[in-house]
Structure 1
Amino acid sequence: MHLSSLQLACAALAALALSAAAAPPAQTQHHVARRSFFNLQCKGVYDAAIFARLDRICDDCYTLFREPQLYSLCRKDCFTTDYFKGCVEVLRETDQLELFKTYIKQLHGADPGI
């Protein structure tokens, strides 16, 4: 059974429409991250890119150890715990630590002390 070019075009459009409907809107992801920013007791200036970069450290650390509490402890108090620093070390990103401290200071609103 061969499909005509019109049938193929319709099938492609239907697949595209379904994938667009299933994908969460970018705005929703932004609101979730912003809510997480406040839940972590961050009192500084919210920056989505910076928040995502620091959160990725904790996510990668969780992926490495598969310990759910580690993810929460890494993010606790707006990334200012020793767990965050430990994750940076384990992930071998210590060369970025000063940059991360600057990021944390912006998000946390004070010197991170890590």
Structure 2
Amino acid sequence: MYSKTIPAMLAIITVAYLCALPHAHARSTQGYGRMDRILAALKTSPMEPSAALAVENGTTHPLEKRQIYDTSCKGVYDRALFNDLEHVCDDCYNLYRTSYVASACRSNCYSNLVFRQCMDDLLMMDEFDQYARKVQMVGRKK
């Protein structure tokens, strides 16, 4: 009895795996392509400081990658808020392994398109409203 059901179950599992695999691959490559386009647009933007480009070329040390408190953030200083926002940028850096992603994610006190794209690529969009409130709190002018 079991000798007939085991091969059938293995066949079903194999078919399900093969059907899901192309979709998983397309999601990750699609996210990587979007991030490349965002970063390329930021690099060519005249408003972007040249220091970020120097970091990408390796001429300076990217201290902002490890910086927990951004002096441009004029709102509430709460370590828990910064820690939550910092984890998104750190995870995004670990996903793409590009120092420019880390610095662009933190720019303008986390209120930027790269931060949102990082949340999307990390599959965290169901928590976006919660993180948007945190960004508003740390970036609010006094």
Match of 2:92 among 41, 45, 61: 61
Match of 1:86 among 109, 117, 128: 117
Task: Look up the equivalent residue of 2:124 and give its one-letter code.
Answer: E
Q: What aligned pairs does 1:36-47 form with structure 2 within 5 A after superposition?
A: 36-38=69-71, 41-47=72-78
What's the offset of the Cα at 1:50?
0.7
Secondary structure at the aligned position of 2:73 is classed as coil
Q: What aligned pairs does 1:1-114 form with structure 2 within 5 A after superposition?
A: 33=68, 36-38=69-71, 41-109=72-140
In 2: Cα distance, 1:65 partner to 1:85 partner: 15
In 2: Cα distance, 1:62 partner to 1:101 partner: 19
In 2: Cα distance, 1:64 partner to 1:104 partner: 21
What's the offset of the Cα at 1:37?
2.7
Secondary structure at the aligned position of 2:70 is classed as helix
Structure 2, gaps ≥5 residues long: 1-66
Secondary structure at the aligned position of 1:37 is classed as coil
Task: Look up the equivalent residue of 1:57 and give its one-letter code.
Answer: V
Over 6 Å off, 4+ runs:
none
Structure 1, gaps ≥5 residues long: 1-31
1:33-71 alpha-carbon deviations (Å, 9 max, x no partner): 3xx231xx1010111001010011000000011000000
RMSD over aligned Cα, in angstroms? 1.2
In 1: Cα distance, 2:96 partner to 2:135 partner: 23
Normalised by the size of structure 2, how large is the TM-score? Answer: 0.51
In 1: Cα distance, 2:112 partner to 2:129 partner: 15
In 2: Cα distance, 1:46 partner to 1:87 partner: 23
Is the 1:37–1:46 contact (alpha carbons within 8 Å) kept by the matching residues of 2? Answer: no
Normalised by the size of structure 1, how large is the TM-score? Answer: 0.63
In 2: Cα distance, 1:61 partner to 1:90 partner: 8
Task: Look up the equivalent residue of 2:134 and give its one-letter code.
Answer: Y
Q: How many equivalent pairs are there?
A: 75
Task: Look up the equivalent residue of 1:94 and give its one-letter code.
Answer: M
